[in-house]
Structure 1
Amino acid sequence: MIQETFNKTVRESKTVVVNADFVIVGGGTAGVCAAVTAARKGIKTVLVQDRPVLGGNSSSEVRLWILGATSHMGNNNRWSREGGVMDEILVENLYRNREGNAVIFDTVLLEKVMNEENITLLLNTSVYDVVKSSNTKIEAVKAFNPQNSTEYVLNAPLFSDASGDGIVAFKAGASFRMGAESRDEFGELFAPDKSYGELLGHSMYFYSKQTDKPVKYIPPAFALKDIKAIPRYKAIGKDDKGCRFWWFEYGGRHDTIHDTEHIKYELWKVIYGVWDYIKNSGEFEDVENMTLEWVGTVPGKRESRRFEGLYMMKQQDIIEQRQFDDAIAFGGWAIDLHPADGVYSELSACTQWHSKGVYDIPYRSFVSKDIDNLFLAGRIISATHVAFGSTRVMATTGFCAQAVGMAAALCTEYNIKPAEILENGRITELQNELNIVGQSIPNVPIKKATNLVSSATIEASSTLKLAEIPSDGNWFNLSVSAAQLLPLKANEAYNFKVSVDAKESTTLTVELRTSEKLENYSPEVILETKTFNLTKGEQLLDISFSETLEKDQYSFVTFLSNDKVSLKTSTKRYTGVLSVFNGVNKAVSNNGKQTPPDGIGVDTFEFWTPHRRPEGQNIALQISPAIEAFSTENIGNGYVRPFVATNAWVSSLEDENPQLKIEWDTPKTVSKIKLFLDPDYDHPLESTLMGHPEEVAPFTIRDYKIKDLDGNVLFEVADNYQTINTLKLEKATSLKGLIVEAKHPSSKVPASIFEIVAN
Structure 2
Amino acid sequence: MIREGGTMSRTLNQTTIFSDLVIVGGGMAGTCCAISAAREGLKVTLVQDRPVLGGNASSEVRLWVLGATSHMGNNNRWAREGGVIDEILVENMYRNREGNAVIFDTILLDKVVAEANITLLLNTSVYQVEKNAEDNIASLIAFCSQNSTEYRLHAPLFCDASGDGIIAFLSGAPFHMGAEKEQEWDEKFAPSKEYGELLGHSLYFYTKDTGKPVRYVPPCYAMRDIAKIPRYRQFNTHEHGCKLWWIEYGGRLDTVHETESIKWQLWKVVYGVWDYIKNSGNFPDAENLTLEWVGTIPGKRESRRFLGDYVLTQQDIVQQHQHEDAVAYGGWSVDLHPADGVFSDKPGCNQWHSKGIYQIPYRCYYSNAIQNLFLAGRIISVSHVAFGSTRVMGTSAYGGQAVAMAASLCHTNKLKPRAVGEPFFMKKLQRKLMESGHHIPGIVLDDSRDLARQAVINASSELQLTHLPVELNEVLDTSVAQMIPVGSGPMPSFFMDVIAECSTVLKVELRVCSRMHSYSPDVTLGSLEIPLQKGVNNVPLNFNLISKVHRYIYLTFLKNPSVMLPYTAQRMTGILTVYHHVNPAVSNFGTQTPPKELGFDAFEFWTPKRRPKGHNLALKFNTPLGGFEARNICNGLARPTIQPNAWAASLADKSPSITLEWDAPKEIQLIVLKFDTDFDHPMETVLMGHPEDVMPFCVQHYIIRDENGKVIYAKRDNYQTINKIKLASTIKTKKITIEVSHPSQHVPAAIFEILCYGPCEKNVAEHI
TM range (shorter): over 0.9
Q: TM-score, normalised by structure 1?
A: 0.99
Partner of 2:137: helix, strand, or coil? strand
Partner of 1:577: 575
8 Å contact 1:451–1:636 — kept in the other structure? no
The answer for the alignment partner of 1:501 in structure 2 is 499
Structure 1 equivalent of residue 82 of structure 2: 83
One of 714, 737, 750 as aligned partner of 1:752? 750
- Does structure 1 retain, via aligned residues, the 8 Å contact 2:582–2:588? yes
Instruction: Encode CA deviations 1:534-565: one digit per residue, 9 max, x unaligned.
Output: 11122221111112322110110000011111
Aligned amino acid, residue 516 of structure 1: S
In the alignment, the residues of structure 1 paired with residue 492 and residue 360 of structure 2 have an alpha-carbon distance, to the nearest angstrom, of 37
Alpha-carbon distance in structure 2 between the residues aligned to 1:702 and 1:493: 34
**Would you say 1:705 and 2:703 are equivalent positions?**
yes
For 1:236, the equivalent position in structure 2 comes to 235
CA shift for structure 1 position 424: 5.1
Q: Distance in 1 between matches of 2:79 and 2:168?
A: 31
Aligned sequence identity (%): 55
Deviation at 1:202, TM superposition (A): 0.1
Report what 1:636 is aligned to.
634
Query: Among residues 544, 548, 551, which one is paired with 1:550 in the alignment?
Result: 548
Q: Secondary structure at the match of 2:167?
A: helix
User: Secondary structure at the residue paired with 1:221?
Assistant: coil
* 2:196 paired residue number: 197
Of residues 258-267 and 618-627 in structure 1, the stretch that sits farther from structure 2 once superposed is 618-627
User: Cα 1:188–1:424, aligned 2, differ >3 Å: closer, same or farther?
Assistant: closer
Equivalent residue runs for 1:680-759 within 5 Å: 680-759=678-757
Read off the aligned partner of 2:667 and give its amino acid letter.
T
| Secondary structure, aligned partner of 1:410 | helix
Does residue 263 of structure 2 align to residue 255 of structure 1? no
- Supply the distance in 2 between the matched residues of 1:624 and 1:50 (Cα, whole angstroms): 62
**1:62-211 pair list within 5 angstroms:** 62-211=61-210
- The equivalent of 2:382 in structure 1 is 383
**How far has the Cα of 1:491 moved from its partner?**
2.5
Could you tell me which residue of structure 2 aligns to residue 452 of structure 1? 451
* Separation in structure 2 between the aligned mates of residue 448 and residue 400 of structure 1, nearest angstrom: 22
Question: Structure 2 CA distance, aligned partners of 1:731 and 1:493?
Answer: 49
Aligned AA (2:217): I
**Could you tell me how far apart the structure 2 residues matched to 1:499 and 1:334 are?**
39
Q: Which residue pairs with 2:325 in the alignment? A: 326
Task: Please report how far the alpha carbon of residue 738 of structure 1 lies from its aligned counterpart in structure 2 after TM superposition.
Answer: 0.5
Q: Which residue of 2 aligns with 1:291?
A: 290
Give me the TM-score of the superposition, normalised by structure 2. 0.98
Cα offset, 1:507, TM superposition: 1.1
Given that 1:250 and 1:343 are in contact with CA atoms closer than 8 Å, whether structure 2 keeps it comes out as yes
2:763 corresponds in structure 1 to: none
Mapped to 2, the partners of 1:477 and 1:273 lie a distance apart of: 45
Equivalent residue letter for 1:614: P
CA distance in 1, matches of 2:565, 2:173: 59
Aligned 8 A contact 1:83 1:439 in 2: yes
Counterpart of 1:366 in structure 2 is 365
- Partner SS state of residue 594, structure 2: coil
User: Structure 1, residues 307-349: CA drift from partner, whole Å, max 9, x if none?
Assistant: 0001000000000011111000111000000000000111010
1:539 and 2:537 equivalent? yes
Alignment partner, residue 300 of structure 1 = 299
Q: Residues 660-708 of structure 1, C-alpha deviation per residue, up to 9 Å, x if partnerless?
A: 1110111112110000000000000000001100000000000000000
Aligned to 1:425, the other structure's residue is in SS state helix
* Poorly superposed stretches of 4+, deviation over 3 Å: none
SS at 1:635's partner residue?
helix
Q: Report the 3-state secondary structure (helix = DSSP H, G, I; strand = E; otherwise coil) of the residue aligned with 2:613.
A: coil
How many Å separate the matches in 1 of 2:288 and 2:49?
37
Amino acid across the alignment from 2:738: V
**Superimposed CA distance per residue, residues 86-129 of structure 1 (whole angstroms, 9 cap, x where no aligned partner):** 00000000000000000000000000000000000000000111
Cα offset, 1:624, TM superposition:
2.1
Q: CA deviation at 1:220?
A: 1.1
Cα distance, 1:252 vs structure 2: 0.2
Task: Tell me if the contact between 1:368 and 1:376 (Cα under 8 Å) persists in the aligned partners.
Answer: yes
Q: Secondary structure at the match of 1:576?
A: coil
Q: 1:587 is aligned with what amino acid?
A: A
Q: Would the aligned equivalents of 2:431 and 2:447 in 1 still touch at CA under 8 Å?
A: no
Matches of 2:104 and 2:572, distance apart in 1: 30
Q: For residue 6 of structure 2, what is the aligned residue in structure 1?
A: 6
Task: Find the residue that maps to 2:448 and give its secondary structure.
Answer: helix
Instruction: Name the amino acid aligned to 2:7.
Output: N
Among candidates 465, 485, 488, match of residue 486 of structure 2: 488
What residue is the counterpart of 2:764 in the other structure?
none
Q: Distance in 2 between matches of 1:186 and 1:421?
A: 26
- Amino acid in the other structure paired with 2:368: K
- Deviation, structure 1 residue 4: 1.2
Matched residues in 1 for 2:396 and 2:557: separation? 37
Equivalents in 2 of 1:706, 1:652: separation in Å?
Answer: 19
Kindly provide the CA deviation profile for residues 712-748 of structure 1, in whole angstroms up to 9, marking residues without a partner as x.
Answer: 1010000000000000011222221210000000000
User: What count of residue pairs does the alignment treat as equivalent?
Assistant: 757
The correspondence of residues 601-616 of structure 1 with structure 2, limited to 5 A, is 601-616=599-614
The alpha-carbon deviation at position 450 of structure 1 amounts to 2.8
Contact 2:462–2:629, Cα closer than 8 Å, also in 1 = yes
Pairing 1:420-431 to 2, within 5 Å after superposition: 420-423=419-422, 425-431=424-430
SS in 2 for 1:352: strand
- Please say which of residues 664-673 and 647-656 is displaced more in the overlay: 664-673
Amino acid in structure 2 at the alignment position of 1:233: Y
* Stretches of structure 2 lacking an aligned partner (at least 5 in a row): 758-768
Match of 2:659 in 1: 661
- Kindly provide the amino acid, as one letter, of the partner of residue 360 in structure 1: Q
Q: Which residue matches 1:36?
A: 35
Q: Which whole-Å CA distance do the structure 2 matches of 1:350 and 1:499 have between them?
A: 44
The structural deviation recorded for 1:518 is 1.6
Whether the 8 Å CA contact 1:448–1:636 is kept in 2: the answer is no
Find the counterpart in structure 2 of residue 441 from structure 1.
440
Measured in 2, the distance between the counterparts of 1:494 and 1:750 equals 22
* Alpha-carbon distance in 2 for matches of 1:666, 1:113: 41
**Residue equivalent to 1:477:** 475
Query: Following TM superposition, by how much is the alpha carbon of 1:215 offset from its aligned partner in structure 2, in angstroms?
Result: 0.3
User: Does the 8 A contact of 1:207 with 1:295 survive in 2?
Assistant: yes
> Partners in 2 of 1:655 and 1:626 — Cα distance?
16
> Alpha-carbon deviation of 1:636?
0.8
Counterpart code for 2:595: P
Aligned residue for 2:521, secondary structure, equals coil
Q: 1:186 to 1:424 in 2, by over 3 A?
A: closer
Judge conservation of contact 1:448–1:637 (CA < 8 Å) in 2: no
3-state SS of 1:736 partner: strand
Q: Distance in 2 between matches of 1:743 and 1:377?
A: 40
Cα deviation per residue 1:260-293 (whole Å; 9 max; x = unaligned)?
A: 0010001001101111111111111321110000
Which runs of 5 or more residues in structure 1 are unaligned?
Answer: none
Q: Distance in 2 between matches of 1:515 and 1:450?
A: 35
**TM superposition shift of 1:69:** 0.4
Q: Which residue of 1 aligns with 2:762?
A: none
SS in 1 for 2:443: coil
Moved more, 279-288 or 744-753: 279-288
1:498 touches 1:541 (CA, 8 Å); kept in 2? yes
Q: Which whole-Å CA distance do the structure 1 matches of 2:423 and 2:329 have between them? A: 24
Distance in 2 between residues matched to 1:247 and 1:450, nearest whole Å:
50
Q: Which residue of 1 aligns with 2:766?
A: none
Amino acid at match of 2:708: D
